Structure 1
Amino acid sequence: MAHKTKKARVMIVEDEGVIAMDIKRTLMDFGYTVTSISSTAGEAIRRAQTDKADVVLMDVVLDGAMDGIEAATLIHSAMGTPVIFLTSYSDEFILERAKITEPFGYLIKPFRDRELYTTIEMALYKDKMQRQLSDSQKWFSTTLMSIGDGVITTNADGHVTFINKAAVRLIGLKEDAAIGLPIGELITLKDETSEDLSDDAFNPLIVAMAGDTTVSLTDFLLIANTGRAVPVSMTTAAIKDEQGSILGTAVTFQDQTKRKELEDKLRHMMLTDSMTELNNRRGFYMLAEHQLKRAKRFNRKIAMVFIDVDGLKRINDTLGHPTGDRAIVDTASILKETFRESDIIGRIGGDEFVVLITDVFGVTEDVVTERLASTAAIYNERQDCPYKISLSIGFVLYSPESDLTIDALMAAADRLMYEHKIRKHNKS
């Protein structure tokens, strides 16, 4: 009785003509299409390229210099066609050689028709599953290679087994150089304070490999073994099998360089005076409050200087506001040249400036007044300058035992500055 027709195409390689024809009739009775019958390895290899069969029935022992095992190896490698071995022998050596080629089935002659049918169907199913798995793996690998996030996987010993293109760009090391390296040699993590996460209890890679829950981190520096430092956010998770045994670790990185640059730009805009590039009121307060806390903690003195530009209204009224703006910018330059980089300088509005001196050793009100006057004199000597810069200052020394706040220091310095301005006005 004929069976339901199958679409599978079968190629027969058998040097015994009678056996080959018998197999062909059986296959056709099962509904298979027999693409060709070959009696030698060379003939089988040539026909495999044109037949494009779904499965090959390969006799192990063939006439000629090449046997069926060698032919099967070449056909499967070149075409990917699944091979079922046919043999009259159950020799262990032949079996071991055949295993190396990873056959899809193995039949010892004589075999029953149903054995042949079952073996072919199992081979076709196995081939289908392997191709689906291969396609899935290729799709997965291609996806991981193409995504913008860096991805690294390791084995249970922490050695790199996969690294995608984004991770290669982040780390600056080629894929073939990274595979097999311990991940600790490939990358180092540092927190925002640039302290190395060398303690295993806090290392997210170690934590993930220990089987803990997924670890997510933000605002960390990834230090590649090339020395390159990149701000990243990252997630690590253990890779486990169905029994819960840890097979390795998956690590994903997101390059935060652009985000950091945007945040820095926005922070600069929020905390910086656009005209002078000095700290604005908000920026000055933020930095000054920090220094005040440090002064209390380490028992250090600091000083607050309040500075006002004399006669700015007159400059604006007689020479115009653009010229007045230039006088403000010149004043900012004078302050930058007069004070140290460690001192905090801010423009808090209009013609008013403040400076927090963080190290007062050798600094007095007279010293500050003299330095400012000297630097201003250099600016006033310019022949193209239609105005003269004159500054009034108030100087307040802060002692750590005092309870004064930044606002109180600034108010006290403002009063002294106003008194200085009156004295100057009375002398003129």
Structure 2
Amino acid sequence: MTLPAGVYGASAAASLLIVEDERIVALDLTLTLESLGFRVVGTASNQNEAVRLTMSYRPDLVLMDINLGSGGDGIHAAEEIARFADVPVVFLTAYADSETLRRAGQVAPYGYLVKPVRQRELNATVQMALARIHATRGRLQAERRLRLALDAAKMGVVTLNEGTDLIEIDGHFPPIADRSVRTLHMEVREFLLYLTEDAQAKVRHLLDQGGDLHMVTRWRAPDAGMPTRWLEVHASYFATELAIVGICRDVTRQVEQEESARQAIVVFESAADAILILGPQGHVTTANPAFIRLTGWPIAEIRGQHPNDFLHARRNSDRQLLEDTPLDFLGHAEILCQRHDGSTFPAWEHVAPVRDDAGVVCNRVLTFTDISALRSAETQVQHLAYHDPLTGLGNRNQLRNILTALPPPTTGQDDAALLFLDLDGFKVINDSLGHDAGDALLVNMTDRFRSVLRQGDEAIRLGGDEFLLLVRSARDADIDALAQRLLRVVWEPFALATGSSVQVSASIGIALYPRDGATPDALLRAADIAMYAAKGAGRNRYARYSPKMAEAANERLAVEQGLLQAIANGELSLHFQPLVTLDGQTMVGAEALLRWQSATLGVISPDRFIPVAEESGLIQALGRWVLHKALTTWAQWQRDGLVQGRLAINVSALQLQDDQFAEDLARELKATGMDPRELEIEVTETALQRVTHIEHRLSRIAELGVKIALDDFGTGYSSLSILKILPLHRLKVDRAFVRDVVGNASDQAIVRAIAAMADALGLELIAEGVESQGQQEYLLRIGVKEAQGWLFAKAMSAPDFMGWLASH
């Protein structure tokens, strides 16, 4: 039997059988249990299948739904399993009424969980059930050994007296009875029918010619549903007794263990992961072929050595996994491993204890996987996410990191200046001379910027012809001199490949940190306002930010005040944008999008009011309204048979930060009757940075059955080490990469890298902002399955959405 690490200390996972008539629930349970380290050997959807698979797989534990619909009753299935097999059952059901509990209690289950169940409750119940199983079987084994020691001569005595055709069976004979029997008679013909053909021949030879018989044979049970037994038989003809006398014992367990051992050897020899078997003191006893292939270390050279002396020989921190993990605990870490030739590679290592029958740790198993490819992909994606592929300058994501890293504001002192530079006349050159000429000009301008910046200053390309320069000085003379030098170098002629030259000028806005903006957004907004002031004043000049330029702040106040009344005044509404298969043939769901038509300000776009709502804290109230309205509407449409598929809703970082969000979500699902499996919560990459304990918060949502999608993927910071532990279901490729994916090699590289990463992590993928057939065809070629965008349908009001559905 394979036992789960942490309960028995075995290196392999416990085997579980799931009995559940709903396939989606069964799949969710399978994924959850496998993520917890268990091995799901199969799933059954009805009573008969549950019994059959239990007999076939002999799992360590059965997770049994009670109401199997037309497939029968889980309690009856548990009764059948209890009659024929020593396999424990834990009920996992939505029913907890008195009658159901009474019936279930008669089966004496090893646990009873009421759906929906959280992952940690499921894990704890299964672990405790397995612990109980192990303890129970340990006691039975001890009792059986004592009984065999006291009654060894009668363990299983088989006698056939000469002149008769009746076999007498005394003692323990498991194929007939589970307890000791006395003088049970069976005809020789019937006895032989239960043996294999080879065993029958050996018994007939003994009957005909005497002599001795020593064999291990399979006892074929009369009922196909009963487990197969294996018997070890030793018999001889004794002339003095005129009888054949033999003893037998049930060796089914040993045969199965030998089979498991053979299977374990195959796994050990053929596994792709490197495996080291360590003694109690941590010294190597053996290694599998994968270890030799990955590291080049021969077994003869490392046997008897500690891995920290040869495998973890580069960094002290890499030795901590084996040194700091208690002998009887599980441990895992990312380690830098050293090959035999001295080269190194990153690996994800696990160490687990192996216990003997007494529960004492007798070995440790060290396994690891080479994650070089993953780290390389991560590096590539991170570089593409933080750098402009054309100029090599940082991009918006890099800007966010730089501005966030500025020192805290100090009273009466400016620490830095942000210069927002926009090229005047670039669009004319780009449109008239072509993108190649425009790109060459941008690259040349980048070199010019670098020539005037000092060490420690930063240059960022926002996109198009917009650049930001962060200067680590706020002295007026330094800033003015730099701005003037920038204007001069930008104005210098640029030689074209044709031999002619062109000139552009620059408009520069200057904002001081922290005087003009103490936050990244405020500082960037101030510099942007100043740049437009310089452009409005005639271009080819610079302007410093002043409070008089802050008209945008007044608009923000108006928006904030309007939002305070928007819900009460009924000014908010939801639009729905279809989510479709990329071929456009099938709608797989819709995304609910918030819209606001103010009585005083008119139609306000989400780009204007959502940032204000997040900054002011109003996003919480808006989020609750959207959640209730969207779930109520979609659930009713589903009940009316008008829609099918999932509903996607955006959730902000502030909503996720709220400790009550998961409970509020659960209440809304229950109140509206919305199936959690049909709801998908979209979170942004920014939320992964801003929200504390993000893994725990997302896990609470996932435990409800709700799917989680990562929105705007590729525009923020996403480490693979974070992504792989989050309960994500889908990645959403940002429209910024889709927009130019047809003609822009950099965007194509980014989208291909994201698609490959999603495939490697087992995540589904959807592209947003698909507006052209060319984008559609390219995304189809690289394996993207789903999309949304104006090519298929725009976001529509509820009545228009219903009309669109009717016409499609």
Please tell me whether residue 288 in structure 1 is matched to residue 402 in structure 2.
Answer: yes
Give 1:228 deviation, angstroms. 3.7
Q: Which residue of 2 aligns with 1:196?
A: 317
Percent identity, aligned pairs only, is: 24
Cα distance in 1, alignment partners of residues 353 and 211 from structure 2: 49
Q: Which residue of 1 aligns with 2:265?
A: 141
Give 1:423 deviation, angstroms. 6.2
Please tell me whether residue 161 in structure 1 is matched to residue 276 in structure 2.
Answer: no
Cα distance in 1, alignment partners of residues 454 and 316 from structure 2: 28
Of 340, 343, 346 in structure 2, the residue corresponding to residue 231 of structure 1 is: 346
Cα distance in 2, alignment partners of residues 426 and 397 from structure 1: 17
Considering only aligned residues, what root-mean-square deviation do their CA atoms show, in Å?
Answer: 5.0
Offset from partner CA, 1:332-369 (integer Å, 9 cap, x none): 34334544675443222331111224578999224533
Offset from partner CA, 1:293-346 (integer Å, 9 cap, x none): 5788xx993332211112213323543454334323332343345446754432
Of 253, 264, 270 in structure 1, the residue corresponding to residue 379 of structure 2 is: 264
Q: Which residue of 2 aligns with 1:273?
A: 388
**AA in 1 matched with 2:309:** E
Give 1:238 deviation, angstroms. 1.1
**AA in 1 matched with 2:509:** G
Q: Which moved more, 1:161-170 or 1:230-239?
A: 161-170
Of 500, 503, 518 in structure 2, the residue corresponding to residue 388 of structure 1 is: 503
Cα distance in 1, alignment partners of residues 298 and 409 from structure 2: 49
Please tell me whether residue 215 in structure 1 is matched to residue 324 in structure 2.
Answer: no
Cα–Cα, structure 1 residues 139 and 426, in superposed 2: closer, same or farther, change >3 Å? Answer: closer
Cα distance in 2, alignment partners of residues 132 and 317 from structure 1: 75
**AA in 1 matched with 2:442:** I
**AA in 2 matched with 1:177:** E
Q: Which residue of 2 aligns with 1:411?
A: 525
Offset from partner CA, 1:233-277 (integer Å, 9 cap, x none): 332211111112111211221222222333333334444434434
Give 1:425 deviation, angstroms. 5.0
**AA in 2 matched with 1:188:** H
Q: Which residue of 2 aligns with 1:315?
A: 429
Give the secondary structure class of the aligned counterpart of 2:346: strand
Of 485, 504, 513 in structure 2, the residue corresponding to residue 398 of structure 1 is: 513
**AA in 2 matched with 1:167:** F
TM-score with structure 2 length normalisation? 0.33
Of 329, 343, 356 in structure 1, the residue corresponding to residue 443 of structure 2 is: 329
Cα distance in 2, alignment partners of residues 404 and 413 from structure 1: 12
Q: Which residue of 2 aligns with 1:246?
A: 361
Please tell me whether residue 354 in structure 1 is matched to residue 354 in structure 2.
Answer: no
Give 1:225 deviation, angstroms. 6.6
Cα distance in 1, alignment partners of residues 367 and 376 from structure 2: 21
Give 1:158 deviation, angstroms. 0.7
Cα–Cα, structure 1 residues 345 and 363, in superposed 2: closer, same or farther, change >3 Å? Answer: farther
Give 1:404 deviation, angstroms. 0.8
Give the secondary structure class of the aligned counterpart of 1:196: helix
Of 205, 210, 221 in structure 2, the residue corresponding to residue 29 of structure 1 is: 210
Q: Is the 8 A contact 2:507 2:540 kept in 1?
A: no
Please tell me whether residue 176 in structure 1 is matched to residue 300 in structure 2.
Answer: yes
Please tell me whether residue 205 in structure 1 is matched to residue 205 in structure 2.
Answer: no
Cα distance in 2, alignment partners of residues 197 and 291 from structure 1: 30
Cα–Cα, structure 1 residues 195 and 157, in superposed 2: closer, same or farther, change >3 Å? Answer: closer
Give 1:137 deviation, angstroms. 5.0
**AA in 2 matched with 1:196:** S
Give the secondary structure class of the aligned counterpart of 1:364: helix
Give 1:405 deviation, angstroms. 0.9
Cα distance in 1, alignment partners of residues 455 and 270 from structure 2: 46
Give 1:419 deviation, angstroms. 5.0
Q: Which has the higher contact order (CA 8 A, sep 6+)?
A: 1
Cα distance in 1, alignment partners of residues 534 and 272 from structure 2: 61
Q: Which residue of 1 aligns with 2:138?
A: none
Please tell me whether residue 364 in structure 1 is matched to residue 478 in structure 2.
Answer: yes
Give the secondary structure class of the aligned counterpart of 2:501: coil
Give the secondary structure class of the aligned counterpart of 2:350: strand
Q: Which moved more, 1:407-416 or 1:147-156?
A: 407-416
Cα distance in 1, alignment partners of residues 390 and 399 from structure 2: 15
Alignment of 1:68-87 (within 5 A): none
Give 1:397 deviation, angstroms. 3.9
Cα–Cα, structure 1 residues 358 and 132, in superposed 2: closer, same or farther, change >3 Å? Answer: same
Offset from partner CA, 1:11-50 (integer Å, 9 cap, x none): xxxxxxxxxxxxxx9x9631569xxxxxxxxxxxxxxxxx
Q: Which residue of 2 aligns with 1:46?
A: none
Offset from partner CA, 1:133-171 (integer Å, 9 cap, x none): 5x7656533422321212122101110112223333444
Q: Is the 8 A contact 2:332 2:351 kept in 1?
A: yes
User: How many residues of Structure 1 are paired with residues of Structure 2 in the alignment?
Assistant: 319
Cα distance in 2, alignment partners of residues 359 and 247 from structure 1: 63
TM-score with structure 1 length normalisation? 0.57
Q: Is the 8 A contact 1:238 1:248 kept in 2?
A: yes
Give the secondary structure class of the aligned counterpart of 1:292: coil
Cα–Cα, structure 1 residues 249 and 393, in superposed 2: closer, same or farther, change >3 Å? Answer: same
Cα distance in 2, alignment partners of residues 426 and 262 from structure 1: 43
Cα distance in 2, alignment partners of residues 319 and 346 from structure 1: 25
Cα distance in 2, alignment partners of residues 356 and 231 from structure 1: 35
Q: Is the 8 A contact 2:441 2:494 kept in 1?
A: no
Q: Which residue of 1 aligns with 2:545?
A: none
Give 1:121 deviation, angstroms. 9.5
Alignment of 1:298-309 (within 5 A): 301-309=415-423
Cα distance in 1, alignment partners of residues 457 and 541 from structure 2: 32
Cα–Cα, structure 1 residues 186 and 312, in superposed 2: closer, same or farther, change >3 Å? Answer: same
Q: Is the 8 A contact 1:150 1:253 kept in 2?
A: yes
Q: Which residue of 2 aligns with 1:91?
A: none
Cα distance in 1, alignment partners of residues 313 and 417 from structure 2: 39
Name stretches of at least 5 consecutive residues in structure 2 with no aligned partner: 1-161, 168-187, 189-198, 217-237, 543-808
Cα distance in 2, alignment partners of residues 276 and 256 from structure 1: 30
Cα distance in 2, alignment partners of residues 363 and 165 from structure 1: 68
